[in-house]
Amino acid sequence: MNHPPKGTAVITGASSGIGAIYADRLAKRGHDLILVARDRERLFSLAQRLKRSTGHSVEVILADLNDKYDLRRIETELRENQNVSMLVNCAGLSADTPLLDSDANTMGQMIDLNINALMRLTYAVVPSMVKRERGTIINLASIAGIAPEILNGVFGGTKAFVLAFSLSLDKELAAKNIRIQVVLPGVTAAGSLANVRSQADGLHKDMMSVEDLVDAAIVGLDQGELITIPSLPDILDWEAYEDARQNMMPKLLRNAPAPRYLVSGHRDHVEA
């Protein structure tokens, strides 16, 4: 059953994988769509299918978010389109090789897409959402953002940025009725960790389907979660992690070194 109209959702990386499933699910939930990706054939095929099956408007914008001109076009769309009620930042690059075997230029492109493009698109859409006092931003991070040891460190670093950025946005925008959700996929059939099972000790051999991942993320959104980790069985594990982080936070702002860093005789030497 289709839902009543809910405004327009802009989805990046929408031609395949996680982005394409988000497009399917959000259209069925009542959103008009603007789909952003590079693959013309897949993007137009998806748009036509969703138009027929849901009756909602589905617009396509061909763009490479690592191209500055294309990125500016999408920023302009987000700033000027007053119907945009949701931004889903799915576009991203992954790396499944160890850092020492990686190409620095490729890592730079990954940083540009995973960090710079996501940040700029978010900043483009937030002012109009704040003005209208409604909106939702969904950022796709990764479990590598909290467990960088399992994968290429640059990739993990970009996803740690997405997590930190989302936490900060939530604190800043919560009073303005802007919903933030950051989703941390694990090993998915089309996700960022699909090729690293042999490299990452302790990762389960089975991969979560992209459909299951997105469906779980949407349930998390409906339940009001800021952090959604579909593969984590017990949310109490994340809550313990977050409680420890919050407990440590005020201690990070002390104006003197911790006692373990005070060399014996240091104070006497300074006073002398």
Please tell me the distance from the alpha carbon of residue 18 to that of residue 138, in angstroms, as a whole number: 12
Backbone dihedral region for residue 218 (phi beyond 0: left; psi -120 to 50: alpha; all else: beta): alpha
Which segments within the chain are labelled E, that is strand? 8-12, 32-37, 58-62, 84-89, 135-140, 178-183, 227-228
pLDDT at 189: 59
Backbone dihedral region for residue 206 (phi beyond 0: left; psi -120 to 50: alpha; all else: beta): beta
Please tell me the distance from the alpha carbon of residue 126 to that of residue 25, in angstroms, as a whole number: 23
Please tell me the distance from the alpha carbon of residue 117 to that of residue 79, in angstroms, as a whole number: 15
Describe the strand order of the beta sheet including 135-140 as a list of residue ranges: 58-62, 32-37, 8-12, 84-89, 135-140, 178-183, 227-228
Domains of the chain by residue range = 8-237
Please tell me the distance from the alpha carbon of residue 237 to that of residue 135, in angstroms, as a whole number: 29
pLDDT tens-place string over residues 18-62 = 999 999 999 999 999 999 999 999 999 999 999 999 999 999 999
pLDDT at 268: 52
Gyration radius of the chain over CA positions: 21
pLDDT at 263: 82
Span of 9-13, 14-18, 105-109, 266-270 with lowest mean pLDDT: 266-270
Q: Does domain 8-237 have CATH number 3.30.365.10?
A: no
Query: Which whole number is the average pLDDT over 126-135?
Result: 95
Share of the chain above pLDDT 70, in %: 88
pLDDT tens-place string over residues 59-85 = 999 999 999 999 999 999 999 999 999
Instruction: For residue 194, name the pLDDT band (cuts at 50, 70, 90).
Output: very low
Query: Which whole number is the average pLDDT over 99-113?
Result: 91
* Phi, psi dihedral angles at 67 (to 5 degrees): -95, 125
Mean pLDDT score of the chain, rounded to an integer?
A: 90
Query: Which whole number is the average pLDDT over 134-147?
Result: 96
pLDDT tens-place string over residues 200-237 = 444 545 689 999 999 999 999 999 999 999 999 999 99
Q: Which residues contact 106 (CB under 8 A, 6 or more apart)?
A: 95
Backbone dihedral region for residue 251 (phi beyond 0: left; psi -120 to 50: alpha; all else: beta): alpha
